[in-house]
Every structure is written in C-alpha cells, then in structure tokens.
A and B are shown apart, each in its own frame.
Chain A
C-alpha cells in the first residue's frame, strides 16, 4: 500500500499538470468479446490513484464491460473473452498466477441496483471480512463493521438496528450499505457501475458526497449516464463510444473543450 498523502495531492476540478500522474490502474490494448461480438476495441487508459475517474458514453458503448475487466467480473460470463493488458500497481491482473479472490479483495465493486444480501445489516458488512479472514476475533469484526459503516456515512442511521435485514433499508441506504460492504475489506480501488441510477435526487446527493470523501483513500472509478454527475464528482473523465475509448482527460477540459467531435456531440446532447 502506498503511504497516505499528507497534503491533498488531487484537487477537484482544477487544472493539474498532466505529468507524473500516479497511475493506479493501467490498461493497454484491451479488447473484449462476447462470443463473436467485440464489445471493446483496443482500449488504453491510465487511471489515477486516489481520485475519481468517470466513464461516460451512450448506453451499450462498453463502459460496464471495461469496468468489469478491472476486477475480472467478466470471468463469470461464459461467453466473454478479454485480451490486452491491465495492471494495478504494475501487476498484471490477468496473470494466470494471480488469484482472483485476492484481486477482488483489492478491487471492490458497487452495482447499479443496490444488492444487499438478505441478511442483517451487520452480516452484510461482515461478509467480506469473514470470507477473507480479516478479523480474528469478534471484537475485531465488530470494529471493522462499525468503521466501514462510519466511512460509508451510514452508521448514525443504522446503529440501533444492526440486526435488522439490510433489505429493509431505503434505496439510498441500501446503496451506502453496499459501499460499506465493499470498503470493509479495505480495497484500493472501488468500481461503481451507475451507483445512483436507481436512487432519488436526495439519496444521489448523499452518495455523491460520500464518493467525494472516499476519494481521499481510494481510487474510484464510476460509470455514470449523467454528465452533471461526472462533472460533480470526478477529476478525470473518459468518454466511450461504440466500444472505443474516444477521449479521456481532466473532467473540466472534457466538458469545456473536448478534442473529439463525437465527445462534443455527446456532451451537447446530440446523441445518447
């Protein structure tokens, strides 16, 4: 693990030197096929550590597909083949010697629809620490659960009902529970696939605020269909179109000064 930055190295929105970016995730020439159909074409992208990167683009353009390459969730789809190279901290994650279980402990994921397990709130968060054997005693487990819930900004709301089912929470609370569940195993990268698309505006605002706080300790990649959301939460933005990474860069410059015609068309609402 890298050491904690003493001064905030990445500031939201403001222009930053392109040099010496502390790339956490590096993708080179990634192609993805579902059966015969190619869903991603030669995608190369660097993703900064401890910042928020958003993927935007019309639906079906391969944003989720690329996201799922980073924690190898595509392995669970029988027809899916991935070629190219993806590294996290310079380690090839498609190396046959690498254990996906450990990879997924380092790369957490939050889904479009909140998917808490039909277990208690406590057990939902304790799930990861239990399967990875992170807590040796009950006290340690409790501590891990409580601190994850605190980091997810949910603890105050649920502290009196940790034994109640997680499915009984509101949609926004469920999504923050899923975030707490993901951070309970201390991942380095958190992938979020349209995490707010099933939430109302107030719950969305809370999750966005949370993402902004988490940026301090985690590398966050978020797929979103809302350009406003990308502008609000992310430092860098990558635009995908028809399986191709069209353009990536600082969020501000993507939205104010896109280099590619297709990006301009998309952000001005000409298609999508």
Chain B
C-alpha cells in the first residue's frame, strides 16, 4: 500500500512536469521569449509544489505511523499485557504485524490484537490517501496559479535542487556521525568493565576465557590491545613490503615504458585484481601460499606454523597492489610531460629522468597512495582469518600465527553472545581504535595529496 502511494506521488510529479510546461507555453500563447524561465522549469515548479509536500507527508507518515500504531494497540490491551518484558513485547508486536506469526491465531489475545491492528492500519491508510490527495491538489492549484510569464520558476527549481542536495549530504553525514557516536558510546560501556589503560597497554588478549552467558563458568579473561595491533601492523608491514615495490614498479612501467596498446590492456587488468573478492584471496592464501611457505620453511629447517603472518601478509600485499599501482600511475602520469622533456633534453636517460625528476615530483602522490593502501590493509579481515589464524600471539616473527584487530572483532561478534558482556563490548572498543588509526592515516593521505595538487595547479 505504502509502495503504491509512493508510486502515485511519483506519477503525479511526472504528469505535472508536462502540465506545467504546457501551461507556461499557454500563458504566453507559445511566444517563448516572453517567459522569464524555460517552460521545463515551470514543469519542474509544478511537480515540486504538487509532489513535494505530498512526499514529505508520506515520509513523515511512514516514520511515525508504526510507532503510533504500536502505542495505540498496546494501550488498548494494556491490562492483558502487563507483566511482559520489553523483549517479549517486541516479539509480540512483530507477530501482530505479521498477522499471527509463529504462534498462530490460537492465542486469544494475539487474535484480538491482530484484528485491531489490521483495522487501525487500514483506517490509517485511508486517512493517509485522502490527506495525500488533498495536499497534492492544493499544491497543484497553488503552483498552477503562480505560472505566469514573469514568474521566476528557474530560481525556485534551483533552490529546491539545492535543498534536496543538502538533504542528501546531510543524511550521509548524519549516518556517519551516528555510527561514530554509537561506537564511542559502546566503547565507553566497555571501559566501565575494563580500564582503558588495561585495554590499550595490556599484553594479553584472551576474551574467550570469559563466560559466554551467565550459565557458563568463566576463566581469567584479558583484554589487552597490544598483541592485536602488533599482529595487524606486522601483517600490514609485510603487505606493504610486497605491494610497494610491485605496485610502484608496475606503475612506472605502465606510465613511462609501456606502449599505448600494452598500457590500454595492462592497466585494466591490474585493476581487476582489486575486484577479486577478498575471500577468494583468503583461500588462495590458506590453501596455496601458507602451505608453500611452510614447505619452504621446512626445507630450510625453519619452524613455520601452518598459519603464518607471512602468508597472510604476502597475499594481502598482492591484494593491495592495484591500489598502489593504479593511484601511483595516475600521479606519475600527472607529472607534466614538459618536465620529462626538460630532463631528456639535458641528456638524461629515461631511467635517470624517472628517478631524478618524475618520482621526486610524484612522491607526495605516491606516498598518499601507499597510505591509502595501508589503511585498506589494516581493515582487511578475510585473508587473515584464513591464513594467519586466531591466536593472539605477541610476536614479531612472521613465521608464527598472529591475529589482527578486525579478525578479533569478527570472532567476538559471531555466534552466541550477550550484548552487555565485556566480551561483546570489547569489539566496539577495538572498532573505535581501528577507526581512529585508519582515520588518522586517511587524513595524512589527504593532506599529502592536497599539497601535491598545489604544486601543479
């Protein structure tokens, strides 16, 4: 029903565009030049006055109506519902809306409530439809009467476009702020169980010792962040050690050495690497790279665990190669040809030119591409889960199993959990810490890029 109301408002808007345009032409008897604004702006104006308020009403209704309905229904049955907890009320409400739900209509209370709700909802919809029609017609009449040769429809439409864009941007920003605030709030709850000092500087991470639910017996749990961040940084460092040279050198090849056809094929192919789902990299790491590394280690009589930071890091490095190569290729290309010509005309060879002129000029952009690749690597989960394991070892040895922040968040929040145990809440603290780290990295990257831009523009 709601869906069809939205559709009809949309159809009304489309019809208004045509009507408004014709009306504008009619008021000037087809003499185009007497209109202040193009006829299509008058059409836009009419669509706006007709569908705008109706749309606002619809959105508002769909946000508020469910709450009102719930309050009313529960109020009618208040005497029969006393004694139910919030979770049970929530379940009941879901069943009512589903027209009976899992419990069927055997429950007398439920059957009554379902009927009352259905009546209420139908009445609400009827009221809404009438209201919408009234609002749309009034808006239409108002808009229709304003259409005149001198009417500045263009300005109105431009204004409305701006409002719409502001609303979209505001929505995105609000969501971001909401997420950050919920992260902070949940983290603060976590810090009531575990002190921030213990969290940030603790050397041991053993949340699994904690009881899952009240009915289990727990051991000694520790929530030290250090092994996780060390594991994260270790894997990231390995990844960058792989991705930086491969990415950068292929960017140099593509931008300065490759012929046009090679470049036209090579660049998109490299970018396909970025489109491979990380889970695919993950099993590549776990099934191919990790065993290969273990076998290689054994032949050197090294003790390599079957899940190692090295395997995860190497595969993650391959994953972020396209980030480095594609962004670096862009910045290297952005170095003006005139600088290359200047260097070549001085008698420098191609590689001297690249080393001494092109790369220094592109360095800020290259650095920022590396930083973006790092923040991408830090946020990566799947490869590490599969290839590096879950053991929170505090080690710098790349041949041992380690774990990372994101992997722990994943394991903390999968399966059976209670939402106010420190174990679950610690995931939010981890998320917040990770967010702060990647945000810092991104800010640095943006800064560097900005300085780079100023250099050439």
From B259, B338, B347, B352, residue with most partner A Cβ within 10 Å: B347
Residue A24 CB within 8 A of the other chain: no
Residue A224 CB within 8 A of the other chain: no
Residue A182 CB within 8 A of the other chain: yes
Residues of B within 8 A of A113 (CB): 338
Q: Name B361's closest neighbour in chain A (CB-CB).
A: A118
State the majority secondary structure of interface residues on B.
helix
Q: How far is the CB of A235 from chain B (nearest CB, A)?
A: 24
Bound CA–CA A181/B339 (angstroms): 13
Q: How far is the CB of A91 from chain B (nearest CB, A)?
A: 16
Q: How far is the CB of A34 from chain B (nearest CB, A)?
A: 15
Q: Known: A127-B356, A131-B348. Is A118-B455 also a contact (CB below 8 A)?
A: yes
Residue A104 CB within 8 A of the other chain: yes
Chain A 110-129 residues near chain B, CB threshold 8 A: 111, 113, 115-119, 127-128
Bound CA–CA A111/B344 (angstroms): 12
Contact digits for B316-357, partner A, Cβ 8 Å, 1 yes 0 no: 000000000000000000001011011111111100100011
Contact digits for A115-158, partner B, Cβ 8 Å, 1 yes 0 no: 11111000000011001100000000000000000000000000
Residues of B within 8 A of A185 (CB): 346-347
- State which of B259, B347, B361 has its C-beta within 8 Å of the C-beta of A131: B347
- State which of A102, A116, A119, A132 has its C-beta within 8 Å of the C-beta of B360: A119
Contact digits for B169-207, partner A, Cβ 8 Å, 1 yes 0 no: 000000000000000000000000000000000000000
Q: Known: A78-B259, A118-B455. Is A127-B344 also a contact (CB below 8 A)?
A: no
- State which of B336, B341, B360, B455 has its C-beta within 8 Å of the C-beta of A73: B341
Q: Name A101's closest neighbour in chain B (CB-CB).
A: B347
Q: Are B341 and A76 in contact (CB under 8 A)?
A: yes
Residue A27 CB within 8 A of the other chain: no
Q: Are A108 and B356 in contact (CB under 8 A)?
A: no
Q: Known: A119-B360, A127-B356, A131-B352. Is A111-B338 also a contact (CB below 8 A)?
A: yes
Contact digits for A182-198, partner B, Cβ 8 Å, 1 yes 0 no: 10010000000000000
Q: Are A118 and B360 in contact (CB under 8 A)?
A: yes
Chain A 11-66 residues near chain B, CB threshold 8 A: none
From B336, B344, B346, residue with most partner A Cβ within 10 Å: B346
Q: Please tell me the number of chain A residues within 8 Å of chain B, measured between CB atoms.
A: 28
Residue A83 CB within 8 A of the other chain: no
Residue A71 CB within 8 A of the other chain: yes
Q: How far is the CB of B255 from chain A (nearest CB, A)?
A: 15
Contact digits for B352-395, partner A, Cβ 8 Å, 1 yes 0 no: 10001100110000000000000000000000000000000000
Q: Are B348 and A111 in contact (CB under 8 A)?
A: no
Residues of A within 8 A of B361 (CB): 117-118
Q: Are A104 and B344 in contact (CB under 8 A)?
A: yes
Bound CA–CA A119/B342 (angstroms): 13
Q: Are B356 and A131 in contact (CB under 8 A)?
A: yes
Q: Name A191's closest neighbour in chain B (CB-CB).
A: B345
Residues of B within 8 A of A108 (CB): 345-346
From B343, B344, B349, residue with most partner A Cβ within 10 Å: B344
Supply 10 further A-B pairs (C-beta < 8 A) apart from A109-B345, A111-B341, A127-B348. Answer: A73-B341, A100-B347, A101-B348, A104-B345, A104-B347, A108-B345, A115-B341, A117-B339, A181-B346, A185-B346
Residues on A close to B: CB < 8 A? 71, 73, 76, 78, 100-105, 108-109, 111, 113, 115-119, 127-128, 131-132, 167, 178, 181-182, 185
A-B residue pairs in contact (CB < 8 Å), sample of 29: A71-B345, A73-B341, A73-B345, A76-B341, A78-B259, A101-B347, A101-B348, A101-B349, A102-B347, A103-B347, A104-B344, A104-B345, A104-B347, A105-B346, A105-B347, A111-B338, A111-B345, A115-B342, A117-B342, A117-B343, A117-B361, A118-B360, A118-B361, A127-B343, A127-B348, A128-B347, A131-B347, A178-B342, A182-B345
The 8 A-B residue pairs whose C-beta atoms are closest, nearest first, are A104-B347, A109-B345, A115-B338, A115-B342, A105-B347, A101-B347, A118-B361, A128-B346
